[in-house]
Amino acid sequence: MDLLLILTYTAFCVAIFKIFKIPLTKWTVPTAILGGIALIGTLLLLMNYNHPYTKFAREYFATTPINSAVRGIVTEVAVKPNQPIKKGDVLFKIDPIPYEAALMQKLAELEEAEQQVPQLEAAFNVSQATVAQAQADKDRAESAYKRYEEGRKKGGSNSPFTELELDNKRQLFYAAQARLEAAKAEQLRTRLAFESNIDGVNTKVASLQAQVDKARFELDMTVVRAPADGIVTQLALRKGAMAVPIPLRPSLSFIPDEERFIAGAFWQNSLLRLKEGDDAEVIFDSVPGVVFKGKVAKVLPAMAEGEIQFGGNLQSSNRLFQRGRALVLIELDENDVVGTLPAGVAGQAAIYTEHFTHVSIIRKVLLRMQGWLNYIFAEGH
């Protein structure tokens, strides 16, 4: 763009010299040259600082790598490349047979566990009856033992109860007492098994229900669907391929429909003038002669050249030599032409600040001249 300004001034001087027949002397030529240096130098300083321009602008877009949540053989690729699709449309399918079998197995285990719940209740009721019976046996054995013991003490050597009979009653009492403790322990075990619940559901049933839900989810994941409205491009997935849930190897790339932003790389000395809301204009190599208007949406607050992360490696001083440029996001006004361009097109951009607004006219003229040059060749090629 600087060259365009110089060439324009040169053409203007040549025309003046020809039209007014000004002689080429040691005074006229240096005056034109020095005047051009002063004029163009001043304009360049004012324009580059107050109305920055960059030939490095590009539309950036985010892609969503599509990975299957389960592993399996691809049985069908339903999506067609480069055609708009809606959220929820089928992208591809994975062989569901292993996951159907796993779901049926978990459903059978869940049914069995649900049938065991009444059995647990019955076992608990039986244990309660057993405890009651053991308690009665213990009370009866204890009563008989105390009666024999009391009769033995009162009768002495004349007691009708022998020492052997008293010992038998004592052992029967101890045995009944042990059976009661065993019955109580069994009652506790069956009660804990029966009353082991989560939100009113038996824990085993709840665990198997969760496994059923997981198996059903995995079965549903054999059908991979679009996460949003968008397109799939450069589709290489084919029937028979092995889809694996590995993030490093997605099955396909999905481009969601999102608002388009243009990123321009501007010199750092322009940061004092740039701010959100400034007017901007963009030209694309793919659309010669057309200028698209927009606004500065955001001046990114960080530059990759200054990034560091923790690790075991020291940072080299060579990184200090990387100057880098500030990234500015430009939001274009609604335009049907922009929507037809491929995502990621390159171009050039200029931003017009509120300072020295009269100089911005020259920047606009030069930007349009650059757009016309794109009919012949694109910048950077």
How would you classify the pairing of strands 64-66 and 223-225?
A: unpaired
Give the pLDDT of residue 278: 93
pLDDT in tens, 168-184: 878 888 888 888 888 88
Write a three-state SS string for 188-212. Answer: HHHHHHHHCEECCEEHHHHHHHHHH
Q: In the chain, which residue ranges form alpha helices assigned H by DSSP? A: 2-19, 28-50, 97-155, 163-195, 203-220, 336-340, 360-373
- Give the tokens for residue 234: 């450069």
Q: Which residue has the tokens 């606009």?
A: 364
Which comes out higher in pLDDT, residue 208 or 115?
A: 208
Report the alpha-carbon distance of residue 323 to residue 87 in Å, rounded.
42
Report the alpha-carbon distance of residue 117 to residue 101 in Å, rounded.
25
**In which band, very low, low, confident or very high, does the pLDDT at 216 lie, cut at 50, 70 and 90?**
very high
pLDDT at 296 over 90: yes
Q: Residue 66, class by beta-carbon neighbours within 10 Å (0-12 exposed, 13-18 middle, 19+ buried)?
A: buried
Give the pLDDT of residue 71: 93
| Contact call for residues 255 and 61 (beta carbons, < 8 A) | yes
Report the alpha-carbon distance of residue 361 to residue 251 in Å, rounded.
50
pLDDT at 2 over 70: no
The mean pLDDT of 227-242, rounded to a whole number, is: 92
Instruction: Look up residue 207 and give its amino acid.
Output: S
pLDDT in tens, 75-90: 999 999 999 999 999 9
pLDDT in tens, 278-295: 999 999 988 898 999 999
In what order do the strands lie in the sheet containing 252-256?
64-66, 252-256, 230-232
pLDDT in tens, 299-313: 998 888 888 888 888
Give the pLDDT of residue 381: 46
Give the pLDDT of residue 220: 95
**In which band, very low, low, confident or very high, does the pLDDT at 159 lie, cut at 50, 70 and 90?**
low
Q: For 258-280, give the DSSP string.
A: ---EEEEEE-GGGTTT--TT-EE
Report the alpha-carbon distance of residue 135 to residue 184 in Å, rounded.
9
Mean per-residue pLDDT over the chain, rounded:
85
